[in-house]
Amino acid sequence: MLIVMNANATQGDIDGVVRAVESLGFRPHVMPGATRTAIGVTGNQGAVDLSHFENLPGVGEAIRVTKPYKLITLDLRPERTIVDVGGAKIGDGSLAIIAGPCAVESRKQAFAVADVVQRSGAKFFRGGAFKPRTSPYAFAGLGEEGLKILAEIRDEFDLKIVSEALDETNVDLVEKYADMVQIGARNMQNITLLRRVGRSSLPVLLKRGMAATLEEWLLAAEYVMAEGNYQVVLCERGVRTFAQHTRNTLDLAAVPAVRRISHLPVIVDAAHGTGRSYMVTPLSRAGVAVGADGLMVEVHARPDEALSDGAQSLTLDEYEQMVKEVRAIHKVIA
Ligand code: PEP
Ligand code: MN
C-alpha cells in the first residue's frame, strides 16, 4: 500500500500515519517529495484495509499497490532519487564516472590508475578487494589489504571508493574502508546479502544479474529498500545471450526501461557489458547517449598483465580519451 499525503500535510500528520502503520505491525517508508510526501507500507502479507488510513489527518489517498514493487517506483517517488556517496552525487544530472581496475592488485598498480582517474575529473574510484572469479584457482583479490589500499586512495586523491562485497562478512569490511558497496551480478539474488546491505549506512551499487529480467533486478533493489536503505544505484552490465562477439550483451534498452518504472539512478558498465576493450569506449558513449546517470569502467596501466578482466580494461590513455568523448556527449544531451 501507498499513502499519499496532501501537499499541506504537517510533520505531525506524517508522524501520525507512521504510528498508525507501525501499530498494525507494518513498516512505513517515508519518501518526502517536491510537492508531497508519500509513505510506502511494507511487511503486510495480504491486503491492508485502506480505511485505516484514508481518514487520518493530512492523508490525500491510500492506494493499493498492484505492481510487484512498492518502493522503487515512480508512484512512490515521482522525482528522481539522488544518491549521495560520501558527498559526491549520482543521479543529480551530472555524469558519474566510476573508474578503476577490476581488482586491486598492489598499491602501486591501484595508485597509478587513481592518479589518472582523479585528473580526469571523475569522482569515484572502483577496485575489487573480493573478486567473484569463475575459477577457484584465479586471483580472488587482496581482501582487507586491498580495502586498506583503497582507503589510502580515498585520502590521497579525494575519490569516493566503490568496492564489492561477496558476503555479509565482506560488507562489514567494505563499510569500514569504502563509500559505496557493490553487489555483483552473481549475487544479485543473494537475498541475505541484499538484506544485509539494506541495513547498511553505505549506498549500494546493484549490478544486474547476467540472466536477470528487468523485474527481477528491480525486485532485488526493492529488497535493499525494504530494509530501509533507499540509496541504491542500478548498474546495467550486460546479460548472457547467444552472441559470441562479446562476453555479454549490453542491454542499453534497460536504461529507458528502468526510467519508466523507477526513480533510482541507473549507470552503464560497458566493460563487463562487452568484455572487449575496443568496444568499451563506443558502448560507453552509447550509454551516455541513452541517458545513463553514469558509467562504470575498468582501467589498468598494463591490461595484458592484469590479474583479472584485462581484456576489457582500458589503458590509461584510452581512459582519458573516453572521458573526453563521453563528457562531450553528455553536454549535448543534458
Ligand atoms: C566487477 O565489477 O569487477 C564485477 C565482478 O562485475 P559483475 O558483477 O558485473 O560481473
Ligand atoms: Mn571486473
pLDDT in tens, 264-319: 999 999 999 999 999 999 999 999 999 999 999 999 999 999 999 999 999 999 99
> What is the C-alpha separation between 10 and 57, in angstroms, rounded?
9
Task: Look at strands 232-236 and 266-269 and give their pairing.
Answer: parallel
Please say whether the beta carbons of 202 and 180 come within 8 A: yes
Q: What integer pLDDT is reported at residue 266 of this predicted model?
A: 99
Across the chain, what does the average pLDDT equal? 97
Q: Which residues pair with 262 in a beta bridge?
A: 73
> What is the C-alpha separation between 332 and 320, in angstroms, rounded?
19
Q: What integer pLDDT is reported at residue 184 of this predicted model?
A: 98
244-253 residue pLDDT tens: 999 999 999 9
Mean pLDDT of 155-183: 98
Q: How many CA atoms lie within 13 A of 36 on its CB side?
A: 18
Please say whether the beta carbons of 167 and 195 come within 8 A: no
Mean pLDDT of 172-195: 98
Residue type at position 270: A
Atom of ligand 1 nearest to the CA of 183: 8
Confidence band, pLDDT 50/70/90 cuts, at residue 150: very high
Enclosing H/E stretch for 320: helix 316-333
Confidence band, pLDDT 50/70/90 cuts, at residue 52: confident
Task: Check pocket membership of 185 for ligand 1, CB cut-off 6 A.
Answer: yes
Q: What integer pLDDT is reported at residue 298 of this predicted model?
A: 98
3 state SS of 163: strand
Q: What integer pLDDT is reported at residue 6 of this predicted model?
A: 97
Please say whether the beta carbons of 249 and 243 come within 8 A: yes
Quick one: the chain helix, strand, coil %, rounded to 5? 40, 20, 40
Q: Please give the grid coordinates belonging to residue 264.
A: 533510482
Mean pLDDT of 40-56: 90
Exposed/middle/buried for 220, CB within 10 Å: 0-12, 13-18, 19+?
buried
**pTM for the structure as a whole:** 0.98
Q: Please give the grid coordinates belonging to residue 129.
A: 578487494
**What spacing in Å lies between the alpha carbon of 329 and ligand 1's midpoint?**
25
The dihedral sign for the CA sequence 20, 67, 231, 36: negative
Which residue has a Cα nearest atom 8 of ligand 1?
184
Mean pLDDT of 207-215: 98
**What spacing in Å lies between the alpha carbon of 50 and ligand 1's midpoint?**
43
Neighbours of ion ligand 2 (CB under 5 A): 102, 309
Mean pLDDT of 13-42: 96
> What is the C-alpha separation between 208 and 220, in angstroms, rounded?
9
Q: What integer pLDDT is reported at residue 155 of this predicted model?
A: 98
Mean pLDDT of 178-194: 98
The C-alpha torsion from 161 through 163 and 165 to 170, rounded to 10°, is -50
Task: Check pocket membership of 272 for ligand 1, CB cut-off 6 A.
Answer: yes
Which residue has a Cα nearest atom 1 of ligand 1?
102
Q: What integer pLDDT is reported at residue 46 of this predicted model?
A: 83
Q: Which ligand is nearest to the CA of 164?
A: 1
Please say whether the beta carbons of 207 and 183 come within 8 A: yes
**What spacing in Å lies between the alpha carbon of 303 and ligand 2's midpoint?**
12
75-123 residue pLDDT tens: 999 999 999 999 999 999 999 999 999 999 999 999 999 999 999 999 9
Mean pLDDT of 235-259: 98
Q: How many whole angstroms from its chain centre is CA 115?
A: 24
Max CA distance (Å), the chain: 66
Please say whether the beta carbons of 58 and 51 come within 8 A: no
Q: What integer pLDDT is reported at residue 93 of this predicted model?
A: 98
> What is the C-alpha separation between 10 and 263, in angstroms, rounded?
24
Task: Check pocket membership of 128 for ligand 1, CB cut-off 6 A.
Answer: yes
Please say whether the beta carbons of 217 and 188 come within 8 A: yes
Please say whether the beta carbons of 141 and 128 come within 8 A: yes
Mean pLDDT of 129-137: 97
Q: What integer pLDDT is reported at residue 47 of this predicted model?
A: 83
Enclosing H/E stretch for 10: none
93: left (phi over 0), alpha (psi -120 to 50) or beta: left
Q: What integer pLDDT is reported at residue 9 of this predicted model?
A: 97
pLDDT(44) > 90: no
Q: Please give the grid coordinates belonging to residue 66.
A: 498492484
Residue type at position 108: K
Which residue has a Cα nearest atom 3 of ligand 1?
102
Mean pLDDT of 174-203: 98
Task: Check pocket membership of 208 for ligand 1, CB cut-off 6 A.
Answer: no
Q: What integer pLDDT is reported at residue 13 of this predicted model?
A: 98
